[in-house]
Structure 1
Amino acid sequence: MASQHQPTWRWLLLLVVVFIAVFSGTRYFIANDIVDGTSMQPTLQSGERLVSIKHQTPKRFDIVVLTEPVAPHALFIKRVIGLPGDTIKVVDDQLWINGQRVNEPYLKTAFAKQELKQFQRAHAAATFTANFSLSQLKATRAKKVPAGHYFVMGDNRLVSYDSRGFGFVSKAELESVVIWRYWPLTQMRGF
């Protein structure tokens, strides 16, 4: 009889180990996030579900989840534009990093034109991304992104509240780096 119960205990032990591994992984290493709002359009839509990795150092143009600086219990999803030590400016919808013009393929031209046209009806916006440099922004007032900090922006530059408004984001405020959109299934893809 003892031999019949032995496999049951092994399966039970295996299930407990798997449960602890999944719980630990989702709590300490992996995050499940839901997009809320329009600031990352057209890349991300409200209601989409994402998987992100915690405790990861982001690279330029990674999509990150961060603690919202003004309301620390809220989370934002933005794109890393500037790394520590970078100079950043936008002139006539062109991004310049460290004196080099940088393409932003994630900014879809057709989407930007449509959003700008609608936005111009209510506001006096001439470009999708208003001209700025780090030293001109009230929120940053620096020539370079400080050590241990990042400059983030939403892809929908007309409506995004981002580093242009709340300043640099410290590494401690970065919750995770987005690696996968899994919902809706028809829009599944890696980042």
Structure 2
Amino acid sequence: MAKKKSEWLDWLKALLIATVLVYIVRTFLFTPIVVEGPSMQPNLHNGDHMIVNKINYALSEPDRFDIVIFHATERRDYIKRVIGLPGETVDVKDDTLYINGKQVEEPFLQEKKDSLAPDETYTVDFSMSDIPGNVDVIPPEHVLVLGDNRGNSTDSRMIGLISYDQIVGSASFIYWPLSHFGLVND
């Protein structure tokens, strides 16, 4: 009888330790998320299941073209791509991205841009003056984010700049569906 009781206590301890470890990993290190909507197409798709790396930005700041998850509202997280960093200006003219007045290539959009008719543009022109918040330069600890599906994305052009405090983490890899399985391409 004492042996059975000891065995149950061992199982209970193991279960408790496993529960605490899962809580720590999900809260502080990694968490799953599902892409909702078409705003990151053609690179991420509605229903893609991904792992969010929460420790990246505890150790470093976001880089240009990182795919980040951030709190857009109290109840809603968005997935977007970092385009502008603190101290920079961002403009798009004639479907070309300019950072501080210098042209910057967006290789993750090139295939989509190449498929457009000659008179079509993928990204509507905008400048810093069009971003909510009335700033000329991205302030410290903020980023400008855009969806890869520029014609169908609620991003910094509508909601303004994103503070580092809003960022949950970066997209690490897709685990479902299996046809999309792999690392998220920056």
What TM-score do the two structures reach when normalised by structure 2? 0.84
Farther off after superposition, 180-189 or 153-162 = 180-189
Q: Aligned residue for 1:155?
A: 148
Tell me if 1:60 matches 2:64: yes
Tell me if 1:78 matches 2:80: yes
Q: Aligned residue for 1:129?
A: 123
How many angstroms apart in 2 are the aligned matches of 1:145 and 1:23?
A: 35
Q: Aligned residue for 1:30?
A: 30
Q: How many residue pairs end up in the alignment?
A: 179
Letter in structure 1 aligned against 2:121: T
Q: Aligned residue for 2:42?
A: 42
How many angstroms apart in 2 are the aligned matches of 1:91 and 1:72?
A: 33
Letter in structure 1 aligned against 2:78: F
**Ranges in structure 2 where 5+ consecutive residues have no aligned partner:** none
* Correspondences of 1:140-179 after superposition (within 5 Å): 140-179=133-172
How many angstroms apart in 1 are the aligned matches of 2:55 and 2:68?
A: 11
Shift of 1:14: 3.6
Kept in 2, the 8 Å contact 1:30–1:52? The answer is yes
**Structure 1 residues 101 and 138 mapped into 2: Cα distance closer, same or farther (>3 Å)?**
closer
Shift of 1:186: 1.9
In structure 1, the residue corresponding to 2:53 is in which secondary structure? strand
Tell me if 1:97 matches 2:99: yes
In structure 1, the residue corresponding to 2:109 is in which secondary structure? coil
How many angstroms apart in 2 are the aligned matches of 1:188 and 1:16?
A: 32
Farther off after superposition, 71-80 or 145-154 = 71-80
- After superposition, the C-alpha distances for 1:115-172 in whole angstroms (9 at most, x for unaligned) are x66xxxxxxx9421111221x2141432211111110000000111100111101111
Kept in 2, the 8 Å contact 1:42–1:108? The answer is no
**Structure 1 residues 127 and 141 mapped into 2: Cα distance closer, same or farther (>3 Å)?**
farther
Letter in structure 2 aligned against 1:183: W
Kept in 1, the 8 Å contact 2:144–2:161? The answer is yes
Identity over aligned residues, as a percent? 36
Q: Aligned residue for 2:18?
A: 18
* Aligned residues: CA RMSD: 2.3
Shift of 1:46: 0.3
- After superposition, the C-alpha distances for 1:90-131 in whole angstroms (9 at most, x for unaligned) are 11111111232111111143x3465x66xxxxxxx9421111
**Ranges in structure 1 where 5+ consecutive residues have no aligned partner:** 118-124
